[in-house]
Structure 1
Amino acid sequence: MTSQASKPLRIGHVDLDTSHPGSFVPILRELGHEVTAVFDGGAVYPPGYAAEFALEHGIPHACESLEEMVGLVDAVLIHSCNWDVHVQRARPFVEAGKAVFIDKPLAGNVRDLQQMLEWSKQGAVITGGSALRYCSEVREQVSQLLPEEWVYGLAGCAVDEFNYGIHGYSMLHGLLGPGIVQAQHLGTTVQRQVELTWADGRRGIVSIGGTAGYLPFYATLVTQKQVKYIQADNNKLYQSLLEGVLPYLAGEAPPLLPFESLIEAELAAIAAKLSAEQDGRPVLLRDIPQDYAGYDGAAFAAYYKELKFPSQK
């Protein structure tokens, strides 16, 4: 893992929809950074929530617009549960040369992922995604696994197929590394099972979707010499994530993963959805149509708000 950034950053939280912004604040401060500003677009919380959040967490600025925030920060963390607005939220900061982290899922369609990739190619400091890619359990296994010893693997989690399911895709991607070329929906037994294929022929399964109870983030790895089961410690995920990405956001280190590799997890999930809609036909990531709708972020945000505030349904 890259060492933590030595350069103190002024950090802004964009959209306060999830538990992540509040959980990140003490970790960011512990790592030597200042949370200077927040903005909330109102997808989940009522007007005025940004000011309440800022007061509760001792943050000096509750901004009324993204443009107001630009001059107050060096980097932003975008937490919108509606992933369809991630490009819109990131744009003013990318154009101003600020560093951008986009929380998972990065996007639910190819068009938005390609816009982010284009920004990266143009020199923008932009990253994001699931904490499961950076967790200590994955890093420990990667240091021990040799590609030629790989036989098969399974990774998964519960809750839903994309907002949480992306953790399963990212965990398997973290273990096997970049190079996913294909996804195939295998079927549904309570959860959806998807087989991913890598360019070198290695394969693994992701099992994602709702269950009767909560499941941990887990993976079972089969090599030619052993079988290993790993389960991520939820209490350490945010620390590992922020320690991993902050040096890059501060301009002190390269990204932990090039952006074209980073987006493979989201592309695999989108390809899997398309495969399911086509009766299990394998779908190459490069063949996902540009106009394919993918996963609907606005619909998920409405669902998420109903879960948080059922009386307002």
Structure 2
Amino acid sequence: MNRRKFITNTSLAMVGIGAGIDAAMAGGRQPLGSAKRVGIIGLDTSHSLAFAEGLNDPSSALSTSGYRVTAAYPYGSTIAISTSRIPGYIKDIQPYGVKIVESVSALLAEVDYVLLETNDGNPRLAQATEVIEAGKPVFIDKPIAASLADVRKIYALAEARRVPIFSASSLRYMDTIQDAINGKIGKILGADTYSPATFEPHHSDFFWYGIHGVESLVALMGVGCKEVTRTHTEGTDVVVGTWSDGRIGTFRGNRTGKHTYGGTAYGENGDLTLGPYKGYDSLLSEIIRFFDTGQSPVAAKETLEIYRFMAAADVSKSRGGAVVALSEVD
């Protein structure tokens, strides 16, 4: 997904790391001192910059939310595709007046809410543990972690500490997916979704990118997938899931050609083509609501099913496409 266009106003571009943004708060925005302080962990993904823009840029429709990104810890990733981005993203976030700090603990001392954005899922358990132990409500971007075991540990700790936690792909909030979920085509009888599914060797196969299409599928079908079977080739994966009520949903992961995100939802009153994807604002609106209420818009059970689905698909791949029950990965 391409990041949004960032502001290049000369006066804002002169603002350095840690500088205030009070002078840029024209148009009814709250002064920084009264804002609800949001911290970002991980400046190795365009999501971090998109969220900072959405909350801090005066031209953003969401800039009146009362939340401001005030600090960021850039590091955590260990894979080259992520670490190579950090210097540029540190520079890009400076116009928003975001203070760069040297540790997660330093960040937590300065903020009330956290966006955990580290692109690499491997340090997520350690990072999320520190945030949860500090009692800060946290949105965790995809993937929650690099393995199902770590995802479970994060959610178990959040439950034990009673700390609000929310994770979702922005694809869940495509207008057409939400239309289908909200009954536009009646009861959903099945769905096919697709997305890019590039692999990264330090993550379970679909956790890195295929999660977008898998989450779209589970969002539409709901919890209750009983078993999956996966057909794998070098450039494509197709996973067929059977739900406990007999409905079937499929995910197609593409690694060749130029592909985006989409699919079809099949309802009792007709079918609905999914797409197009329009960006991050819908997800950011849900994050703001989550911070406001302390309630995740996606139940933990549903989020965990997304990761169970992907883990079971990996087992199916290892068995040459055999049917694998999701209960096997519990």
Identify the TM-score tier after normalising by the shorter chain: 0.7 to 0.9
Contact 1:165 1:208 in 2 (8 A): yes
The worse-fitting range, judged by mean Cα deviation, of 42-51 and 93-102 is 42-51
2:75 & 2:191 partners in 1: Cα distance?
A: 40
Asked if structure 2 preserves the Cα contact closer than 8 Å seen for 1:172 and 1:219, the reply is no
Displacement after TM superposition at 1:98 (Å):
0.3
Aligned pair in 2 of structure 1 residues 232, 120: CA closer, same or farther (>3 Å)?
farther
Q: Helix, strand or coil for the counterpart of 2:314?
A: helix
Task: Say which structure, 1 or 2, has more relative contact order (CA 8 Å, 6+ apart).
Answer: 1
Aligned to 2:257: 212
Paired positions, count: 277
Q: Which of 238, 263, 277 is equivalent to 1:233? A: 277
8 Å contact from structure 1 (residues 15, 40) kept in 2: yes
Aligned counterpart in structure 1 of residue 71 of structure 2, from 11, 29, 37: 37
Normalised to the residue count of structure 2, the TM-score between the two structures is 0.77
By how many angstroms is 1:142 displaced?
1.2
Query: 1:15 matched to which residue of 2?
Result: 42
Matched, 1:181 2:226: yes
Superposition RMSD on alpha carbons, in Å?
2.4
- The residue that corresponds to 1:143 in the other structure is 182
Secondary structure of the residue aligned to 1:263 is helix
2:226 equivalent to 1:166: no
For the residues of structure 1 that align with 2:234 and 2:41, how far apart are their CA atoms?
A: 37
Kindly state the Cα deviation for residue 284 of structure 1 after the two structures are TM-superposed: 2.1
Q: Which runs of 5+ in 2 are unaligned?
A: 1-29, 57-62, 78-82, 200-205
Alpha-carbon distance between aligned partners in 2 of 1:245 and 1:282, rounded to the nearest angstrom: 36
Q: How does 1:113-128 map to 2 (within 5 A)?
A: 113-122=151-160, 123-128=162-167
In structure 1, distance between residues paired with 2:300 and 2:119: 21
C-alpha distance in structure 2 between counterparts of 1:128 and 1:121, whole Å: 14
The letter of the residue matching 1:247 is R
Q: Secondary structure at the match of 2:280?
A: helix
Deviation sequence 1:193-212 (CA, Å, 0-9, x none)? 00122232211110003122
| Higher mean C-alpha displacement, 127-136 vs 163-172 | 127-136
The CA deviation string for residues 161-194 of structure 1, in whole angstroms up to 9 with x for no partner, is 5222111001111111222232210344841000
Task: Work out whether residues 14 and 39 of structure 1, in 8 Å CA contact, stay in contact via their aligned partners in 2.
Answer: yes
Q: CA offset at residue 67 of structure 1?
A: 0.6
Shift of 1:249: 2.4
Structure 1 residues 235-287: Cα deviation after superposition (integer angstroms, max 9, x where no partner): xx31111111222223x252112212212212211211121111112222231
* Identical-residue share of aligned pairs (%): 25
- Which residue in the other structure is 1:245 paired with? 287
Query: Which ranges of structure 1 fall in alignment gaps of 5 or more residues?
Result: 1-5, 290-313
* Cα separation, partners in 2 of 1:46 and 1:227, compared to 1, 3 Å: closer
1:31-51 deviation digits (Å, cap 9, x = unpaired): 331111111226314886675
Partner SS for 2:123 = helix
Three-state SS of the structure 2 residue aligned to 1:197 is strand
Structure 1: how far apart are the matches of 2:312 and 2:146?
11
Q: Is the 8 A contact 1:135 1:241 kept in 2?
A: no
Q: Secondary structure at the match of 2:111?
A: coil
Q: Deviations over 1:74-103 (max 9, x none)?
A: 111111221111111111110011011111
- Corresponding position: 1:284 with 2:325: yes
Residue 58 in structure 1 maps to residue 97 in structure 2: yes
